[in-house]
Amino acid sequence: MILADFLVEQWLNPMDSKAEHNFGTSCVKALTMDELFRVTEQDENAFLKDLSTMSLHYHHGDSTGSPRVKKAVAGLYPKADVDPKHVMMVHGGTGANDIVIMGLLEKGDNIVVIKPTYQQHYDIPKSMGIETRIVQLKEEEEYLLNMKELSKAVDGNTKLIALSNPNNPTGATLYEDGLQELVEIARSVDAYILCDEIYRGMDETYMPSILDFGYDKAISVSSLSKMFSMAGTRIGWIVTKDEYAYKNFENRRSYNTICCGIIDEIVGAIAMENYKKVWARARSILAPNKQMVYDWVKTQPHLSLHGDAKGTTCLIRYDYDITSTDMAVDAMEKARILLCHGACFDEEPAFRLGYGGFTDRNQLQESLDALSDYLKTLE
């Protein structure tokens, strides 16, 4: 199997620590351990005492996740009647996407992918020789899914429909009506839905999950990386009520994971048991930062921004005579500005701008000013 280069990860991972102005990150500013306990109002000393006597056996009775962490994940879906038995802990959101795609697709199937999205959704199936059909989100439609196009793309051989919601990189989001229609289209051809919900939680009001609509072939994947600000734990999960799919995923997981880190699961459980507090912190960072970015774009004559981003990033288009890859490299070399080039999502000419990594508004403004100065060099 030959995989396409994973552009976004190959670019951002080595550059993240070198950037002075980091618009590349798609995570909300990482928590420290002390801050986690302050935000969740839990007893850090009691936690440390428990750790001191905890067995470091490779799992505590259930290789798919500790009872505590699986219960905590189930609690993130209050309208979906999720039981801990429907939850499987995996190695990050990337592990979740990989296990679902590799665990479901086989010769003769097709997958319908709603783009732009995370590269795993389309390049893993392509590498497997699976027919990969694309439904493209369009700028002129505010990057909202065109259900008529989706209906035309599916057929009796469609095993899986894959998307990110909120969308990566645009932040466009399907709510109740859109998700219900998506479910009905999938149901009409008996297809599974892989919905990467890693950015879910920015709204003050409840943000629906694909699991909320009574369709057992709906699969939610997520992780602690984005809204939970805990990417370093590498804790992700898959939630499905479909027994066949769950058993398939569990078997594949045995080949590449076995179990997740037990300390990571405990730390993750603390955050998820108190997810409303953690998400409130994330929103307090994202909402004003997003407004600053949207206001800034209006001052830039060569940039355009469409859609109402409900994640941690937005997709900005430009009319400069330069490819997005060359722009990203040039901005980093000349000004230590880290952007995520649109080529990572097959979107040209554009770049993804992340605004969740700034807890200091003055620092964000300084970085936007630096980006303004850099863009002037392209005129």
Domains, the chain, in order of start with CATH, read 7-33+280-376 (3.90.1150.10), 55-275 (3.40.640.10)
pLDDT value, residue 281: 98
351: helix, coil or strand? Answer: strand
Q: Answer whether 41's CB lies under 8 Å from 273's CB.
A: no
Q: Answer whether 223's CB lies under 8 Å from 201's CB.
A: no
pLDDT value, residue 61: 78
Bridge partner residues of 129 (DSSP): none
Q: Answer whether 147's CB lies under 8 Å from 185's CB.
A: yes
d(CA 244, CA 178): 27
pLDDT tens digits for range 132-147: 999 999 999 999 999 9
pLDDT value, residue 134: 98
pLDDT tens digits for range 215-274: 999 999 999 999 999 999 999 999 999 999 999 999 999 999 999 999 999 999 999 999
C-alpha closest to that of 71 among 86, 58, 92: 86
Mean pLDDT over 272-295 rounds to: 98
Q: pLDDT grade, residue 181 (50/70/90)?
A: very high
Mean pLDDT over 167-186 rounds to: 98
Kindly report the average pLDDT of the chain as a whole number. Answer: 97
Q: How many CB atoms lie within 10 A of CB 225?
A: 24
pLDDT tens digits for range 197-217: 999 999 999 999 999 999 999
d(CA 286, CA 210): 23
Helix 92-104 crosses helix 120-127 at what angle (to 10 degrees)?
A: 40
Q: pLDDT grade, residue 59 (50/70/90)?
A: confident
Mean pLDDT over 27-50 rounds to: 97
pLDDT value, residue 58: 81
Q: What is the dihedral of CA 138, 144, 147, 150, to 10 degrees?
A: 50
Structure tokens given for 58: 């490779």
**In the chain, helix, strand, coil percent, each to 5?**
45, 15, 40
Mean pLDDT over 22-49 rounds to: 97
- The lowest-confidence range among 25-29, 61-65, 331-335 is 61-65
Bridge partner residues of 335 (DSSP): none
267: helix, coil or strand? Answer: helix
Q: Pinpoint the alpha helices (H) of the chain.
A: 7-15, 33-40, 44-53, 67-74, 92-104, 120-127, 147-153, 176-188, 243-256, 262-273, 275-298, 324-335, 361-376
Q: What DSSP character marks residue 177?
A: H
Taking the mean position of all CA atoms in its chain, how far away is CA 71? 21
C-alpha closest to that of 302 among 349, 247, 370, 356: 349
101: pLDDT strictly greater than 90: yes
Based on its alpha-carbon atoms, the radius of gyration of the chain, rounded to whole angstroms, reads: 20
pLDDT value, residue 191: 99
Taking the mean position of all CA atoms in its chain, how far away is CA 284? 19
pLDDT over 70 for what percent of the chain? 100
Amino acid at 37: F
Q: pLDDT grade, residue 39 (50/70/90)?
A: very high
d(CA 343, CA 363): 27
C-alpha closest to that of 93 among 254, 233, 215, 207: 233
C-alpha closest to that of 35 among 228, 244, 236: 228
1: pLDDT strictly greater than 90: no
Largest CA distance in the chain: 62
